[in-house]
Amino acid sequence: MFTAVGLNAQTASQEPNNCYTKWKNKFEERGAEDVKDGIYDDAIVCFRNGNSAECFTGRAEVKSGKVIAMYLRLEDGSYEQVKKKLKFDVPMVITNGISAALLTMDDQLINVIFPKALKPKKAGYVKAPEPGGDE
């Protein structure tokens, strides 16, 4: 009985393992540099429904720390602007390398991720040598 309760508690606390969650966890672990104003051709546009997410290569235009336009890259290298009807018109403020989510009329969440803003992995500690026979 204790094993079953432990497994249920562990499963309930696990986050979904999707592209958005993987990026979010990486940014929480390492932090991000500020995203400056400009156009980013290396942005990732994420569409989320419940526990599932789809992430696409895209472009984002940033002004005053907010995403003001986002585009999806097509297979031919061109871009198509993401235009969805929104439930609320809220700014997509960028915090720690990821924009705030937009909620569409069909209950889909959209975020923009800026992978180049991710801080580099912190260097690990160097282990001391073990004592030798002469020391």
**The two three-digit tokens of residue 14, written as one number:** 């696990």
Please check whether residue 98 lies inside any domain of the structure.
Answer: yes
pLDDT mean over 63-79: 96
Q: What is the pLDDT of residue 131?
A: 87
Q: Is the pLDDT of residue 3 over 50?
A: no
Please check whether residue 86 lies inside any domain of the structure.
Answer: yes
Please check whether residue 15 lies inside any domain of the structure.
Answer: no
Tokens 């400056």 label which residue?
A: 36
Number of domains the chain is built from: 1
pLDDT tens-digit series, residues 29-62? 999 999 999 999 999 999 999 899 999 999 999 9
Structural domain boundaries enclosing 48: 35-117
Contacts of 101 (CB under 8 A, 6+ apart): 48, 109, 110, 111
Please check whether residue 22 lies inside any domain of the structure.
Answer: no
Please check whether residue 134 lies inside any domain of the structure.
Answer: no
Please check whether residue 6 lies inside any domain of the structure.
Answer: no
pLDDT tens-digit series, residues 84-132? 898 988 899 999 999 999 999 999 999 999 999 999 988 888 999 888 7
CATH number of 54's domain: 2.30.29
**The two three-digit tokens of residue 134, written as one number:** 């002469």
CA-CA-CA-CA torsion sign (21, 17, 122, 119): negative
- Model confidence at 19, in pLDDT bands (50, 70, 90)? very high
Please check whether residue 7 lies inside any domain of the structure.
Answer: no
Please check whether residue 52 lies inside any domain of the structure.
Answer: yes
The predicted model scores a pTM of: 0.80
pLDDT tens-digit series, residues 58-70? 999 999 999 999 9
**The two three-digit tokens of residue 98, written as one number:** 């990821």
